Amino acid sequence: HMDFFKNMDSLKKAFLEFINKVPFYGVSIVCIENQHIKEILPLIHRKYMTYGFSEEAELCAVNIKKGFMSVNFDVLHKNKYLGEFKMRLPGVHNVLNGLAAIGCGITLQMDIDVIRNALENFSGIQRRLEFKGEQNGIMIYDDYGHHPAEIKATLRAIKEGIFENLPSNKKSGSLFVLFQPHRYSRTKDLLDEFSESFDDADMLFVLDIYPAGEKPVEGINSQRLVEKIKNKGKNKVLYLQNRQKAAEQISLELKEGDVLLTLGAGDVWKIGEEILHILNKKDFR
């Protein structure tokens, strides 16, 4: 929300102030894979636990194994081996999320096997790589991602979690992404970053910006974003001006083995459900 914080220095200051207000009996669990977090570590005066992939992290994930919409990894806590952990979620970003949860459990002195079982049985939350359904061999997912870093992580997770670890009984196809930018201010501030976030998409469709209560900003629109993406060398990108016809248009492009991801913090998920309904009525032969 850079419309509020204005710049990274003010955002880091807010994080630091918050962490230093944690009571003496509390603990902040922080990810040292984030360079901005690493920079403020010397300024933290409260108790904290670090986690990440680096050996310098107090809680470290190693031997990461990626499977079909899943990930396994070993965990070290202060160089002590805690065993293997499994998650029914794809992507290295979810390994970091899992480490944060493990850190919380350790801080609360929970039995490590209780933590392990909880992670293995966790199936995710709504609008975070949420599986919406499968029809005619076409899988549809939805994700709330609306920031460049989130988008990159989500697309990479799908590529690794589906296409690179596909069961032998499934046909491999293409990754279609339907993206709905969120807020004019965010699109303006991160236009260049957005234009470089869709490398893992085989085909990208872009809807109009979801305003979220904001007034339009002159010169900031989805057509400009699509132009920026094309200038980066990605030709398979299309601006969908007519939202009402988007579901029908996209459904005509999909074939067995393809995956469709609806992406954004607005109401783009509704179109995914429309597409699933259309596919359900069609006879693919």
Task: Give domain limits for the chain.
Answer: 2-121, 130-281
Is the per-residue pLDDT at 28 higher than 90?
yes
In the chain, the amino acid numbered 261 is: L
Is the per-residue pLDDT at 213 higher than 60?
yes
pLDDT tens, residue by residue, 179-206: 999 999 999 999 999 999 999 999 999 9
Instruction: Say if strands 138-143 and 130-135 run parallel, antiparallel, or are unpaired.
Output: antiparallel
Q: What is the pLDDT of residue 17?
A: 95
Q: What is the pLDDT of residue 211?
A: 94
Is the per-residue pLDDT at 283 higher than 70?
no
pLDDT tens, residue by residue, 132-146: 999 999 999 999 989
Q: What is the pLDDT of residue 2?
A: 59
Instruction: Tell me the two tokens of residue 137.
Output: 């061999």
Q: What is the C-alpha to C-alpha distance for residues 60 and 281, in angstroms, rounded to an integer?
A: 48
Task: Tell me the average pLDDT across 230-235.
Answer: 87
Is the per-residue pLDDT at 229 higher than 50?
yes
Q: What is the pLDDT of residue 244?
A: 87
Give me the chain's average pLDDT, please: 92
Task: Tell me the average pLDDT across 250-255.
Answer: 94
Q: For the chain, give the percent of residues with pLDDT over 70.
A: 98
Q: What is the pLDDT of residue 3?
A: 64
Query: Do 2-121 and 130-281 agree at the fold level?
Result: no
Burial 183-209 (b: 16+ CB within 10 A, else e): bbbbbeebeeebbebbebbebbbbbbb
Instruction: Tell me the two tokens of residue 195.
Output: 């234009």
Instruction: Tell me the two tokens of residue 233.
Output: 């060398």
Binning pLDDT at 50, 70 and 90, where does residue 162 land? confident
Is the per-residue pLDDT at 250 higher than 80?
yes
Is the per-residue pLDDT at 113 higher than 90?
yes
pTM of the predicted protein model: 0.84
Task: Tell me the average pLDDT across 37-58.
Answer: 94
pLDDT tens, residue by residue, 77-93: 999 999 999 999 998 99
Is the per-residue pLDDT at 171 higher than 90?
no
Task: Tell me the average pLDDT across 254-266.
Answer: 95
Q: What is the pLDDT of residue 1?
A: 64
Query: In CATH, what is the architecture of 2-121?
Result: 3-Layer(aba) Sandwich (3.40)
Binning pLDDT at 50, 70 and 90, where does residue 128 land? confident
Assigned superfamily of 130-281? Mur ligase, C-terminal domain (3.90.190.20)
Q: What is the pLDDT of residue 277?
A: 92
Q: What is the pLDDT of residue 285?
A: 44
